[in-house]
Amino acid sequence: MVDVDATLDEAGIKNPHVREYVKHWADLTGAERVEVVSAADDSRLIAEALEDGELLPAGDGLYYSRSYVKDTARSEERTIVATNDPKDKGVYNNWRPASEMKPMLEDRMRGASKGKTMYVIPYLMAPPGNALAPWAAGVQVTDTRTVVLHMIRMARVGAEFLEALEDPEQFVRAVHVTGDLENLGQGTPDDQRYFVTVADERTILHFGSSYGGNALLGKIAHGLRQGAYDGWASRKFLAEQYMLIGIKDKQTGKTYHICGGFPSASGKTNLAMMLAPDVLGDRYHVSFYGDDIAWLWVDEESGKLYGMNPEYGVFGVAKDTNEGTNPTALASIAEGTHAIFTNIAYNVETHEVWWEGRTPQPPADTHGWLDWTGSPIADRENGDDSPWAHPNSRFTTQLDNVPNIADDYNAAAGVPIDAIIFGGRTRDREPLIRAITDLAEGVYDGLTLGAEATSAAEGVEGMLRYDPMSNRPFMAYGEGDYAEHYLKIVGAAKDLPIFAHVNWFQKDPEDGHYLWPGYRDNLRPLLWLLQLKAGEVTGRQTPVGIIPTAEELNLDGVDISDKDLETILSIDNARWRQEMGFREEHLQQFDNMPEAIWEAHRRVSAALDAEA
Ligand code: SPV
Ligand code: MN
């Protein structure tokens, strides 16, 4: 057995609770070596991973990795929130008693790192010095080196973040043990994997994957599930799957901040990284803070709602990322950025990479190209048109590689939040934007957020797969309690943020074309929202919110027909009344839903009925 004490001494880790935790898990997992890492170890670890073939070179300062073929996404069915209080059971959190899950995970992890190195990763999910830093510190242990390399990109990593702890016990214990990936029965009745957050003990136990949100425990498990639970238990904050951007009006010098939640595949990363349309670029600058997580709290001094991105990087979906959809993402993974690609297509000879949507057609010369499973494209049978890259393939890069990263992204203070938006992918019914000024109606709108079922087989036509606040996979406690906590936190703020629901995806029912151009032009409805909040425009009141008039929207340079514009700036009363029935059923599943939310639902319903 290794001398863990000597390793911890050498790394300068004095905190007795951290030392005890590391020793416990080194012993239980049977790791052969223990290594404490910091961001400064990145180039050495990259060199080791290249040497061992875990990473392959993908251009100057770019790296390529492939995960096990049955380990390419988060597994929601295997993800559990466990606590010691059955009242924490919700509809979506897969609650189980801590007393059941902890011994089960310990059994699976026992001896499972034999022969491997256990890396110790002290991290912080907050800008240093932030008001929420006490809930942001953690120590991940992992037995996979590529997980360390991803954590260094996605979180602030280093032993110094443990020194700042006011309470030496207040760090999240984040245990990741990979397991024997080829023998875990992924997706079978005998599935061995479990991804457990023991939320009231601030302990994360993930077993059976080395991919993404299953393995980078700072991101989803701590940044969302544990953060949400802590925010509620402390009554201090919200942890949300939100992007966060700044919009600077260069004429007035003022910067506004908008955060918001979108179910997956609704364009959240593209929105977070967008640039102003060329014709508006002289007046407005859009800056990037984060594309996936925001923690929100009321700032003690100003009394305003503040937000920050707890992450340090972007774990973005590669598919369809190109010069048109997201040029800033491409710049953030250019040579020299030390980005890591996972599960895209790779050319073993030229070290080029490719994914669906990177260019309209795949490379014509298939020589040297491997698909995401590592199989040569040239060996494919005629007619095999399966994707070269996995649809959930990713790029991992640090925030400051994004060209329009906000100057103050690392500032301790965070930023005041002016607006909270929700958006799905809805082919009809949802207008381009509808603004909501009432708090309970805004929260109600977030709770009834959803994405369209992608094929009719998946559900009732026109019915959404509801994804409250885009947090369905990350809910940590009961949804009714969550709604009440959300109302309290945001409701305590001076100068309430304005809410809005946006939809870039309305389609013409006849020929299927998108009615709104989207991408950079999405800044236009957001500018209108800020103007509405400032009282510079009034919009048009509808039963489901305030909609811009065609004259109020800045459409300078936008190619859209009057007919399409009229459609995206109006609401379809019959479709909305159908939706209200679905919403009622959806909300009825949840215990303790605050009366204010039901009142909002009834108000919107009555207004729709009155207009019909
Ligand atoms: C998501 O699935 O919402 C992600 C990626 O942000 S992962 O970290 O894999 O969860
Ligand atoms: Mn996400």
List pLDDT tens digits, range 540-559. 999 999 999 999 999 999 99
Query: pTM, whole model, 2 decimals?
Result: 0.97
pLDDT mean over 167-196: 97
Residue 51 has pLDDT above 90, yes or no: yes
CA of 437 from ligand 2 middle (Å) equals 27
Residue 264 in marked binding region:
yes
Rounded to two decimals, the ipTM of the complex is: 0.97
CA of 458 from ligand 1 middle (Å) equals 22
pLDDT of 99: 98
Q: Buried b vs exposed e over 207-227: b needs ≥16 C-beta within 10 Å?
A: bbbbbbbbbbbbbbbbbbbbb
As a dihedral over the C-alpha atoms of residue 304, residue 307, residue 308, residue 310, rounded to 10 degrees, the angle is: 130
How much of the chain, in percent, has pLDDT values that exceed 70? 99
Residue whose CA lies nearest to ligand 1 atom number 10? 213
Residue 147 to residue 422: CA distance in whole angstroms: 31
pLDDT of 1: 59
**Ligand 1 atom index nearest CA of 264:** 3
How much of the chain, in percent, has pLDDT values that exceed 90? 95
pLDDT mean over 48-64: 98
**Ligand 1 atom index nearest CA of 213:** 8
**Ligand 1 atom index nearest CA of 241:** 3
Residue whose CA lies nearest to ligand 1 atom number 3? 264
* CA distance to 241, 293, 354, 428, per residue, from 384 (Å): 37, 38, 17, 34
Residue 457 has pLDDT above 70, yes or no: no
Residue 227 in marked binding region:
no
CA of 315 from ligand 1 middle (Å) equals 7
pLDDT mean over 200-220: 97
Question: In which element (H, E) is residue 240 found?
Answer: strand 237-240
pLDDT mean over 239-246: 98
CA of 74 from ligand 1 middle (Å) equals 7
Handedness of CA 98, 102, 103, 105 (dihedral sign): positive
Residue 164 in marked binding region:
no
Residue 603 in marked binding region:
no
CA of 241 from ligand 2 middle (Å) equals 6
Substitution site in 147, 197, 214, 315 for ligand 1 pocket (most atoms within 8 Å of beta carbon): 315
What is the 8-class DSSP label of residue 355? -
- Given the residues 209, 266, 332, 470, select the one marked as catalytic: 266
Query: At a CB cut-off of 8 Å and minimum separation 6, what does 141 contact?
Result: 22, 25, 26, 118, 119, 120, 121, 174, 175, 176
pLDDT of 265: 77
pLDDT of 464: 86
Name the packing angle between helices 479-491 and 595-611 (round to 10°): 90
List pLDDT tens digits, range 273-289. 999 999 999 999 999 99
Q: How confident is the model at residue 22 (pLDDT cuts 50, 70, 90)?
A: very high
Residue 472 has pLDDT above 90, yes or no: yes
Residue 608 to residue 612: CA distance in whole angstroms: 6
pLDDT of 461: 72
- Say whether 266 is catalytic: yes
pLDDT of 452: 81
Q: Catalogue all structural domains in the chain, each as residue range(s) with its CATH number.
A: 4-36+76-234 (3.40.449.10), 55-66+313-402 (2.170.8.10), 240-309+409-611 (3.90.228.20)
Q: Residues 145, 161: contact at Cβ < 8 Å?
A: no
Taking all residues of the chain, what is their mean pLDDT, rounded to a whole number?
Answer: 96
pLDDT mean over 353-372: 97
CA triplet 555, 560, 566: central angle to 5 degrees?
90
Residue 454 has pLDDT above 80, yes or no: no
Residue 398 has pLDDT above 80, yes or no: yes
pLDDT mean over 108-121: 98
Closest ligand (CA of 206): 1
**Residue pointed to by tokens 């990363």:** 269
Residue whose CA lies nearest to ligand 1 atom number 8? 213
pLDDT of 266: 86
Residue 486 in marked binding region:
no
User: By C-alpha distance, which of 575, 568, 584 is closest to 611?
Assistant: 575
Question: In which element (H, E) is residue 123 found?
Answer: strand 117-124
Q: Among 286-295, 410-419, 461-470, which stretch is predicted with the lowest mean pLDDT?
A: 461-470
Residue 360 has pLDDT above 90, yes or no: yes
List pLDDT tens digits, range 291-348. 999 999 999 999 999 999 999 999 999 999 999 999 999 999 999 999 999 999 999 9
Taking CB atoms and a 6 Å cutoff, what residues make up the pocket around ligand 1? 74, 212-213, 219-220, 264, 292, 315
